[in-house]
Structure 1
Amino acid sequence: MENQLPEHIEQDLVAGFTLTDPDDGFQRCKKISQTKYLFRCDVNGEVFEEEIDTDTIDKIEAIDGYYDSIEEVFEIYGNYNANMIIAECHFENICPMEIPT
């Protein structure tokens, strides 16, 4: 039998989120605009959420450790998906390993 996703994850998917990394806290993303994305991931039973606007973050800092340049991101993912990848890298940099209680 295939593993079922937790109900709150299923609800997010129905609401327009895309599962971007199921092995890392069920990381998921919802596109709000061409430059804004809402990311969520589960950390120690809590949901960490962050809205990221790629127009307001340091893109080079966001991709550091993942890609060599912004140009590389655009070459690999094209104009349509590059901003989402940049936002995802930023999110992965700020998502806590655990949420303090």
Structure 2
Amino acid sequence: MLAPLERLGSLPVIAWTIIDARSRHTGNTRHIVRGGLAGPAAALAICRNGDDGFHLFSCDEQWQTVSDTWHETVDDAEAQAEFEYEGVSATWITV
């Protein structure tokens, strides 16, 4: 897997993690992309959206975004990530 980017699109990455054996895709959330169900992410990234909150991005192996959710705080984004990928709370890397 490629090293994470400093930015996803125009948004700065503030934390990232790779989904591996340390976490488990829970299936608690379903992401619909172009009319189909997206599979588990290869990685996650949290990006700051100016003064308007944070995005939790699900990414593929090339750090291309597959889906995202918006959150008011970083803690909310991390909680959503843990809801979707049990164990991921212990693997975040802060930029």
- TM-score higher than 0.5 here? no
Whose strand fraction is larger, Structure 1's or Structure 2's? 2
**Structure ranking higher on relative contact order (CA contacts 8 Å, 6+ apart):** 2
- What's the TM-score, normalizing by structure 1? 0.39
Whose helix fraction is larger, Structure 1's or Structure 2's? 1
Larger CA Rg, structure 1 vs 2: 1
- What's the TM-score, normalizing by structure 2? 0.40
